Amino acid sequence: MTVLHKTPLGFTLVELLVAIVVVAIIGGVIIVSAAAAQKQARDGQRKSDLRKIQTALQQYYTDQGYFPLTSNFNLSTATSLKNPAGTVTYLQNVPKEPQSAGSDYCYRGQVDDTTVCTDNNDPAKKCNSYFICATLENPATPTSCGCGGNYYLRPNGVSE
């Protein structure tokens, strides 16, 4: 007489639980990696935006002999950068912060590295320098640029 053993046709509860845990761990790793990649991409966009603004500011300085006053080039409200007469456009569309609808970018015209300029008609108060600033999500070296950000550029192209 032959005894037939019935082979189970499904998975046991333990096997199913192990498979679910493995899939959940892999999914978690993918989600964390994707979030980190998105932060890095937004930081790259912020740096690119500041370089674009910096290029426009350098062109403005070449033509005018000074940088714009902070009050005349507020990155939160400005839509473009034009000469004082409004006849030459140096930056058609001011870039906005990639994660929000507004702009967390900051521009500050300065007489030197520490003094804010107030009058481009007065040589002692004229904007000979500036800094532009953004807040990076993953800064390599956290610093402060005076208006809440942690990454900035100056006229010589150096980021601090």
pLDDT, one tens digit per residue, over 97-134 is 888 655 678 899 999 878 888 898 888 889 999 989 88
Mean pLDDT of 129-156: 77
- Which band of pLDDT confidence, cut at 50, 70 and 90, is reported for residue 4? low
3-state secondary structure (DSSP) of residue 109: strand
Under 8 Å CB-to-CB from 81, ≥6 apart: which residues? 53, 56, 57, 60, 68, 73, 89, 90, 91, 94
Three-point CA angle 98, 101, 103, nearest 5°: 70
Mean pLDDT of 52-62: 94
- Which band of pLDDT confidence, cut at 50, 70 and 90, is reported for residue 61? very high
3-state secondary structure (DSSP) of residue 112: coil
103 and 96 Cβ atoms separated by less than 8 Å: yes
Query: pLDDT at residue 52 above 90?
Result: yes
> What confidence score (pLDDT) does residue 155 get?
84
- Which band of pLDDT confidence, cut at 50, 70 and 90, is reported for residue 158? low
Which range has the worst mean pLDDT, 36-40, 58-62, 140-144? 140-144
Phi, psi for 17 (deg, rounded to 5): -65, -40
> What confidence score (pLDDT) does residue 54 get?
93
Name the token pair of 65: 């002999």
Q: Span 13-153: which CATH code?
A: 3.30.700
> What confidence score (pLDDT) does residue 157 get?
63
Q: What does the alpha-carbon distance between residue 115 and residue 138 come to, in Å, rounded to a whole number?
A: 29
131 and 145 Cβ atoms separated by less than 8 Å: yes
* Mean per-residue pLDDT over the chain, rounded: 85
Name the token pair of 7: 């082979």
Other Cβ atoms less than 10 A from the Cβ of 138: the count is 11
